[in-house]
Chains A and B, each alone.
Chain A
């Protein structure tokens, strides 16, 4: 679900990756976030605390476990696209359905 109001957008998605938001998914998430101009933040609750989705250090420090609801919000010109893209990445299990190979 994504809702958009002008230059603000938000959404939520269930994190199903077996380890949670670990190193490799976090790298993918922050890399994708950095392709957008909007500020993008994530949280495990709708109330926050909100974490800068472009910082791998902050995303990893949140130690988000599997089964968490990941809330995404963005503000800026491409906010809607940014939220949709990040949610799409999590929904696709970070594009690694068959590649739990490195598990890093």
Chain B
């Protein structure tokens, strides 16, 4: 039995699962050609027709949102624009499998090149169709999965997902994948725990896994103590999940009925789909990096549309748009500096934005335009000295003046800062020109403990529970109160029941958490007693 190994990815659907580990390989794509073009064509057409019939049947059984996703797949397979090029390839001498795979590969490449997360995620639907048809060309039977299995692999297809009986438990741990994929949406609506973005896992010798899709953690070949901790967590989480679901809809009140503002962090606009703005007090952090994931900097119009959509969703509640926080562990091609010996201490956040006013100006313009449509604020990441606020404010004023001169509707949003560099947290009173403080507890913790979060050997030291972190939070809260500046906290700490009592004890009254942590955070708040006054 190999040693237990832990891997971390991003939660795409919350929950706990454990069971046999099943690797989802792609179907083989080697098939002996019959050598007869007419027969190759007939076989491909039969495989496509078979896939259509199977997906239809699945749609009838699944119903609801799944049926709509599958209906899209059927419509694609029925469209001659998809299948005709494959038939043409067979006419030109190709065998059915090669013709099919090459035809779909062109479609997949087209979706993958999209700037838009939504359309990029559709490549997974095309892969699904490719594999469904390929399986039929090979005459392969569907594999039987053991009960309550943890499925792993590069990605999982909607048809595969829907062909599994999830009522017996199980979960999904993907090397790649996306929280915007159809499978992620299905997993959330069916309560199937799912983690994406684990990177390629070495599965050799591992036959079982525990999956904690609240935190994004996977344990391969768990030890006895992992299993007992899992069983305990699962027992607790069953009752808790129900109470969290109920708590998510109400306002956040402590046990002695002190109101805490609970906002959400948004990394991709798709996270807002299907969410009710009534469940939160606004958006405490918009990670605008989602716009910069692809090569090149998005133009003003693209940024404006994305920000506007988010601002309109929340209006009249506040939305804190963070300016680009590239650098550190979030490189942006063509923008961030490559080869820094220590990128977390390098040109990232506002440092990079001030060094690239051409890029910064476009973002500030887009934000000022979006602010017309609701209650937007702008937040600067990685501020270290007060002068950075002044320089950013001057650029913002200039962007607003330009827009006004051009006759483009805009509003100058309040300009606040992230408190994540210890130099700010120790002397927050020097930063009184910020309109608000938002404590970034993830980076603050790694800087205060001098423990990089991407180095496993020191990960245990980078603990937000270190009393130094709470002491700095208290300092910022006190300074904010003295200066009349609003203070919130937008790191993982804010949604973690283990840290919420300590945060409320510092006097903090506002947190911003991942959307899936809303219920957890509100429930933990309800169990805490706050000092009044």
The answer to whether B107 and A100 touch across the interface, beta carbons within 8 angstroms, is no
Interface residue from A18, A63, A65, A104 paired with B185 (Cβ < 8 Å):
A104
The answer to whether B305 and A100 touch across the interface, beta carbons within 8 angstroms, is no
Q: Measured between C-beta atoms, what is the minimum distance from A70 to chain B in Å?
A: 15
Interface residues of A in 1-56 (CB under 8 A from B): 18-20, 22-24, 26-27, 30-31, 52, 55-56
- Cβ of B65 within 8 Å of any chain A Cβ, yes or no, is yes
The answer to whether B68 and A102 touch across the interface, beta carbons within 8 angstroms, is yes
User: Which of B112-120, B210-218, B317-325, B420-428 sits within the interface?
Assistant: B112-120
The answer to whether B65 and A102 touch across the interface, beta carbons within 8 angstroms, is yes
The answer to whether B72 and A57 touch across the interface, beta carbons within 8 angstroms, is no
- Cβ of A101 within 8 Å of any chain B Cβ, yes or no, is yes
Count of chain A to chain B residue pairs whose CB atoms are closer than 8 Å in the complex:
74
Docked pose: A102 CA to B72 CA in angstroms: 12
Interface residue from A23, A26, A31, A100 paired with B69 (Cβ < 8 Å):
A23
Interface residues of B in 97-119 (CB under 8 A from A): 107, 110, 114, 116, 118-119
The answer to whether A100 and B71 touch across the interface, beta carbons within 8 angstroms, is no
The answer to whether B118 and A22 touch across the interface, beta carbons within 8 angstroms, is yes
Interface size on B, residues (CB 8 A): 29
Q: Mark B282-305, 1 if CB is under 8 A from A, else 0.
A: 000000000000000000000001
- Cβ of B76 within 8 Å of any chain A Cβ, yes or no, is yes
Docked pose: A104 CA to B82 CA in angstroms: 20
Q: Measured between C-beta atoms, what is the minimum distance from A53 to chain B in Å?
A: 12
- Cβ of A61 within 8 Å of any chain B Cβ, yes or no, is yes
Contacts of A92 in B (CB 8 A): none
Q: Measured between C-beta atoms, what is the minimum distance from B313 to chain A in Å?
A: 8
The answer to whether A56 and B305 touch across the interface, beta carbons within 8 angstroms, is no
Docked pose: A30 CA to B76 CA in angstroms: 11
Docked pose: A26 CA to B122 CA in angstroms: 13
Q: Measured between C-beta atoms, what is the minimum distance from B99 to chain A in Å?
A: 16
| A103-B270, A104-B185 known; A60-B122 Cβ under 8 A | yes
- Cβ of A67 within 8 Å of any chain B Cβ, yes or no, is yes
Q: Measured between C-beta atoms, what is the minimum distance from B268 to chain A in Å?
A: 12
The answer to whether A57 and B107 touch across the interface, beta carbons within 8 angstroms, is yes
Interface residue from A19, A30, A61, A103 paired with B75 (Cβ < 8 Å):
A30
- Cβ of B239 within 8 Å of any chain A Cβ, yes or no, is no
A-B contact pairs, 10 of them (CB 8 A): A18-B309, A19-B273, A22-B118, A23-B122, A31-B75, A56-B79, A63-B116, A100-B274, A102-B68, A103-B270
> Which chain B residues have a beta carbon within 8 Å of chain A's beta carbons?
64-66, 68-69, 71-72, 75-76, 79-82, 107, 110, 114, 116, 118-119, 122, 125, 182, 185, 189, 270, 273-274, 305, 309
